[in-house]
């Protein structure tokens, strides 16, 4: 279904959703840093900056409690967190590179083990995507087969049009329900042309060729050259919309505490450190190799998808300037 939504009506919609008890997550400034987070009111929404962290945290928070324990004498009480208590959510202003990563994550979180925390939030969230009209030289969604106007992962997709406001298209039942429930805010399409989409400059990767090289080059001297400068932090993984590793730890005292799930990263030395003291990925090039392998080979082997949507966050924020687009394009030329 195609409609037109003015900027004012978008704000009215968000305020109405908030007033109706829905959690509305949107890009806003958090002490000056653009981040997705729950909105107090529509005035706080910031749609012209790519949030520093991706939208995955709406489903997979930086840190969440998944259980608590209490001990009284010999009596231990375990209390599960009930995912049924997660709020109905509308996630707004999601860039195509972020939205496209969400169905990619569905695959891993609903595979042999069904991650109820992720899946329950997923079920209860309606995603309003937003086309990009500006890209920088770290953006490369087009190189991995997406685009600044790709509605993949969005229930409802907004494209800015000339003269202001958005052309709005629904792609799922969730999207239709949202529009139908607020019909008077959505007008007939006004025929105004869409603003030109952003044009990321990176050449398209031949992902098949990349994978073919990776299939055969687990051992290759090239890895040392690629990763020698990596300092092994988690910045790239933590900012990435598709990275999804986590750790589970119990924190608290002997008497009471919580079991917590929080983000983890394959760049960390500790990630593969065995209790025996042995670390199979003992050097950083092996850890960085894993990052590339996971994104462009293992995930494809297992789920038939690429674990990178070209958002460029890891490029912008790698402390030592490691550029995954440059690396993948180099591999595709091998």
Partner 1 sequence: MTNTIDTSIYAAVTEAIQGEVRRILSEGSVSAVVGYAAARRKGSAQPIVITDAARAEELVFSAACVNNLAVYLTKAKKEIPKTGKIGIVVKGCDLKALVGLMGESQLKREDLYLIGVPCAGVLASTAQPSQELTGDTIAPKCRECDARLPAGCDFVPDQRPVSIELAGKYSAEIARLEAMTPAERWAYWKEQFKKCIKCYACRQVCPFCFCEQCLCDRNKPQMVETTPRPAGNTAWHIVRAMHLAGRCAGCAECERVCPMDIPLNLLNRKMAKELKELYDYEAGFEVREKGPLAMYDEKDDQSFIK
Between 139 and 185, name the residue whose CB sits nearer to ligand SF4. 139
Tokens standing for residue 308: 């990178």
Residue ranges with strand state E in the chain: 2-5, 23-30, 33-38, 63-72, 75-80, 89-94, 125-130, 156-160, 166-170, 246-252, 256-263
Instruction: Kindly state whether residue 240 participates in binding ligand SF4, applying the rule CB under 6 A.
Output: yes
Options 50, 293, 322, 331; binder of ligand SF4; rule CB under 6 A: 322
Return the residues of window 9-28 that contact ligand SF4 according to CB under 6 A.
none
Instruction: Kindly state whether residue 267 participates in binding ligand SF4, applying the rule CB under 6 A.
Output: yes
CB 103 within 8 A of CB 153: yes
Q: Which positions touch partner 1 (CB under 8 A)?
A: 30-33, 52-53, 62-63, 136-138, 224, 227-229, 231-235, 237-239, 247, 249, 251, 260, 262-263, 265, 268-270, 282-285, 315, 317, 319-323, 325-326
Between 129 and 241, name the residue whose CB sits nearer to ligand SF4. 241
Quickly tell me which residue has 């995954």 as its tokens: 324
Of 155-163, 175-183, 192-200, 240-248: span binding ligand SF4 (CB under 6 A): 240-248
Instruction: Kindly state whether residue 103 participates in binding ligand SF4, applying the rule CB under 6 A.
Output: no
Of 43-51, 88-96, 150-158, 235-243: span binding ligand SF4 (CB under 6 A): 235-243
Q: Which of 240, 255, 221 is nearest to 291 (CA)?
A: 240
Instruction: Kindly state whether residue 132 participates in binding ligand SF4, applying the rule CB under 6 A.
Output: no
Contact partner, 309, from ligand SF4, partner 1, none, Cβ < 5-8 Å per class = ligand SF4
CA dist., res. 196 & res. 132, Å (int): 9
CA dist., res. 188 & res. 1, Å (int): 10
Options 8, 70, 319, 333; binder of ligand SF4; rule CB under 6 A: 319
CA dist., res. 264 & res. 244, Å (int): 8
Instruction: Kindly state whether residue 232 participates in binding ligand SF4, applying the rule CB under 6 A.
Output: yes
Options 93, 129, 153, 241; binder of ligand SF4; rule CB under 6 A: 241
Look at strands 89-94 and 256-263 and give their pairing: unpaired
CA dist., res. 141 & res. 204, Å (int): 9
Question: Minimal distance in Å, beta carbon 238 to partner 1?
Answer: 5
Residue 133: how many CA atoms within 13 Å on its side-chain side?
A: 13
Instruction: Kindly state whether residue 310 participates in binding ligand SF4, applying the rule CB under 6 A.
Output: yes
Contact partner, 251, from partner 1, ligand SF4, none, Cβ < 5-8 Å per class = partner 1
CA dist., res. 60 & res. 210, Å (int): 29
Instruction: Kindly state whether residue 90 participates in binding ligand SF4, applying the rule CB under 6 A.
Output: no
Instruction: Kindly state whether residue 309 participates in binding ligand SF4, applying the rule CB under 6 A.
Output: yes
Instruction: Tell me the torsion sign for CA atoms 323, 199, 33, 54.
Output: negative
Quickly tell me which residue has 């329950």 as its tokens: 120
Q: Which residues share a beta bridge with 68? A: 79, 258
Instruction: Kindly state whether residue 3 participates in binding ligand SF4, applying the rule CB under 6 A.
Output: no
Instruction: Kindly state whether residue 63 participates in binding ligand SF4, applying the rule CB under 6 A.
Output: no
Options 236, 292, 293, 327; binder of ligand SF4; rule CB under 6 A: 236
Instruction: Kindly state whether residue 318 participates in binding ligand SF4, applying the rule CB under 6 A.
Output: yes
Look at strands 89-94 and 23-30 and give their pairing: parallel
Instruction: Kindly state whether residue 311 participates in binding ligand SF4, applying the rule CB under 6 A.
Output: yes
Contact partner, 311, from partner 1, ligand SF4, none, Cβ < 5-8 Å per class = ligand SF4
Task: Give the DSSP per-residue string, 126-190.
Answer: EEEEE--S---TT--GGGGT--TT--TT-SEEEEEBTTSSEEEEE-SHHHHHHHHHTGGGSBPP-
- Residues near ligand SF4 (CB under 6 A): 230-233, 235-236, 239-242, 267, 295, 308-314, 318-320, 322, 324
């Amino acid at each position: 279904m195609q409609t037109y939504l003015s900027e004012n009506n978008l704000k009215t919609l968000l305020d109405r959703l908030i007033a109706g008890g829905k959690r509305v997550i949107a890009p806003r400034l958090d002490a000056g840093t653009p981040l997705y987070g729950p909105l107090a009111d529509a005035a706080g929404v910031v749609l012209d900056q790519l949030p520093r962290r991706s939208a995955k945290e709406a489903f997979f928070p930086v840190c969440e409690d998944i259980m608590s324990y209490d001990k009284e004498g010999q009596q231990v009480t375990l209390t599960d967190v009930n995912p049924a208590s997660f709020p109905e959510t509308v996630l707004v202003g999601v860039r195509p590179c972020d939205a496209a990563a969400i169905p990619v994550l569905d695959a891993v979180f609903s595979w042999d083990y069904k991650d109820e925390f992720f899946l329950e939030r997923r079920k209860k969230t309606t995603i309003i995507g937003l086309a990009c009209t500006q890209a920088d030289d770290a953006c490369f969604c087009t190189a991995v087969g997406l685009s600044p106007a790709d509605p993949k992962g969005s229930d409802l997709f907004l494209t800015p049009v000339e003269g202001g406001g958005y052309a709005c298209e629904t792609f799922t039942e969730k999207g239709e329900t949202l529009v139908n429930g607020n019909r008077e805010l959505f007008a007939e399409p006004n025929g105004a042309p869409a603003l030109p989409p952003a044009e990321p400059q990176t050449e398209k990767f031949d992902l098949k060729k990349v994978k073919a090289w990776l299939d055969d080059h687990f051992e290759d001297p090239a890895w040392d050259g690629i990763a020698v400068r990596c300092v092994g932090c988690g910045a790239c993984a933590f900012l990435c919309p598709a990275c999804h590793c986590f750790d589970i730890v119990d924190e608290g005292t002997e008497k009471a505490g919580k079991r917590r799930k929080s983000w983890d990263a394959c760049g960390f030395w500790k990630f593969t450190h065995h209790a025996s003291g042995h670390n199979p990925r003992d050097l950083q090039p092996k850890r960085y190799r894993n990052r590339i392998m996971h994104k462009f080979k293992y995930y494809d082997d297992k789920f038939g998808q690429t674990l990178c949507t070209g958002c460029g966050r890891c490029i912008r924020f790698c402390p030592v300037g490691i550029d995954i687009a440059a690396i993948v394009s180099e591999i595709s030329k091998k």
